[in-house]
Structure 1
Amino acid sequence: MNQFISKEASLQLLRNIESSSFPFVYDYEKHRMLIMDEQGNDLIYFRLPIVLPPPSQAEDQVNYVILLVQSGNCAMGYFENGLNLDHKVFRSYMVRKKQGKSQIKHLKTKGKSRAGSRVRLGETVEFFENINERLQEYFEEHEINRIAMSCSKILIPYLFNSKVSTPFDKRDDRIFKIPKHVHTPIYEVMMDVHKFLLKGELVYEAVHQAIIDELVDEDMKLR
């Protein structure tokens, strides 16, 4: 079962988990609490809203970047405590019209390219340079606590090997891979992803409903 809950309810649930008798651990990479049985088996997953800091930290606010990248499309933004203070959308001619395949994938299967392909590759290079330039601005102007990313594996090397360097390493601990399918990145899609990240999410089997009932206060709204 999956249940989404508000930031306020998530904060109360977090406190209830920490004061309960159930064993638990916090998974920083996935920003979630794991509630376990006495043998250490995972029973319930509770993803925290992105605006809540890790339980061991006491930041007054959480600053974060959302970065969504697909072939020829990128939507990105800088957020503070749930407010989008800046955003940018990039588009590039990276897709071969007939095959509907990105030029990067084409090169991996077909080798050398012709004039049209070179144009697409040139735009691909500029595409990632533009992304990293905007990222650099965010990281120079703000302290970034988390980096919420959705980027296909085939594009990761192009992001991190761009002539304009990415202001964080691909192994940066702050990277949070968005646990949700992302449609073609545009501003509206980014804001839909943001709404998802602002909510807490409980994931559990029906057999563990009694544990949920014990942890959730009567006045807490699961929605």
Structure 2
Amino acid sequence: MNRFLPKDKAADLLRTIQQSGIRTEYDPEKHRLTLLDEHGDEQLYFRLPITLPAPIKEQTIAKTRINYVILLIQSGNCALGYFEDGVNRNHKVFRSYMVRKKQGKSQIKYLKTKGKSRAGSRVRLGETLEFFENINGRLQEYFEAHDVNRIAISCSKTLIPYLFSSKVETPFAKNDPRLYKIPKHIHTPIYEVLLDANRFLLRGELIYEPAQQTIVDSLLQKAGITGVEEADEEEFTFEKPDDFEGEDFEEEEDEEDEMEW
């Protein structure tokens, strides 16, 4: 089950958890707390809003401003933007001719089986390389002009090597600790989808099994929280604790070449 909280209520719940003495483990790669029982077993997960700092010192919750970049990439489509404490200050959408129209397959996938001998394939490959150069060029501008605290990304493992091997360098490493893979299915990246992803990241999220409902209700009551939003089951799924393989971005792809969580 999934329950969502706005930033202020998520901050209240975080304080309640910290003050209650509940054992927790913080996962920086997913920016979430795992709540443990007295035996050290996992009970439920609390994904924090992207604008809340890591829960090291309670007094920093309301004082630290978080600047971040959201980067959404699919074959031939990219939307990225720079955000200050939840507000979009700049954005850019890139499109490229990367998909073979008859087969509906990206040129990158096609290269693995058929090569690049045809003229159309060479054109698509050239546009693919330019596509990632443009993306990294805009990222370079953001990182040169601003201090970036987090990098929220949605990109398939097929495209990751092209992002990091572009002639225009990516302004962060593949294992940068600021990287945060967005735990949500992303539709074709356009500006509206970028803003939708930001709205998702600005909310806190309780992730748990029905057996933990009593624990969740007790925590929300102690934090004085009512009217918590329940997830749309068609849009969000329960997030497994072992679904992230670390810096190599090893994920299974679905039919739309997305990262699965």
2:147 maps to 143
Structure 2 runs not aligned, ≥5 long: 230-261
Task: Give 1:113 shift.
Answer: 2.5
Q: CA deviation at 1:64?
A: 0.2
- Greater shift after overlay, 53-62 or 118-127? 53-62
Residue 117 of structure 1 is aligned with which of 117, 121, 136? 121
Name the CA distance, whole Å, in 2 between partners of 1:73 and 1:155.
11
Which position in structure 2 is the counterpart of 1:93? 97
8 A Cα contact 2:25 2:35, kept in partner: yes
User: Structure 2: how far apart are the matches of 1:132 and 1:171?
Assistant: 16
Partner of 2:160: 156
Q: TM-score, normalised by structure 2?
A: 0.83
2:176 to 165, 172, 176: 172
The CA deviation at 1:26 is: 1.0
More deviation, 42-51/112-121: 112-121
2:3 maps to amino acid? Q
- In the TM superposition, structure 1's runs of 4+ consecutive aligned residues that sit over 3 Å from their partners are none
Are the counterparts in 1 of residues 116 and 122 from structure 2 also a CA contact under 8 Å?
Answer: no
Larger mean CA deviation between 57-66 and 7-16 belongs to: 57-66
Q: Percent identity?
A: 65
Rounded Cα–Cα distance in structure 1 between residues aligned with 2:48 and 2:64: 16
Is 1:75 equivalent to 2:63 in the alignment? no
Equivalent residues of 1:7, 1:198 under 8 A apart: yes
Runs of at least 5 residues in structure 1 that lack an aligned partner in the other structure: none
Superposition TM-score, scaled by structure 1 size: 0.97
Matched positions, count? 223
Task: Pick the structure with more strand per residue.
Answer: 1
2:55 and 2:200 map into 1 onto residues whose CA distance is 20
Write the distance in 2 (CA, Å) between the matches of 1:172 and 1:142. Answer: 17
Displacement of 1:210 after TM fit?
2.1
Contact 1:34 1:46 in 2 (8 A): yes
Q: Distance in 2 between matches of 1:139 and 1:217?
A: 41
CA contact (8 A) 1:107 1:113 kept: no
Counterpart code for 2:191: Y
Shift of 1:157: 0.4
Structure 2 residue corresponding to 1:202, chosen from 178, 203, 206 = 206
Q: CA deviation at 1:83?
A: 0.2
Superposed CA RMSD: 1.2
Match of 1:134 in 2: 138
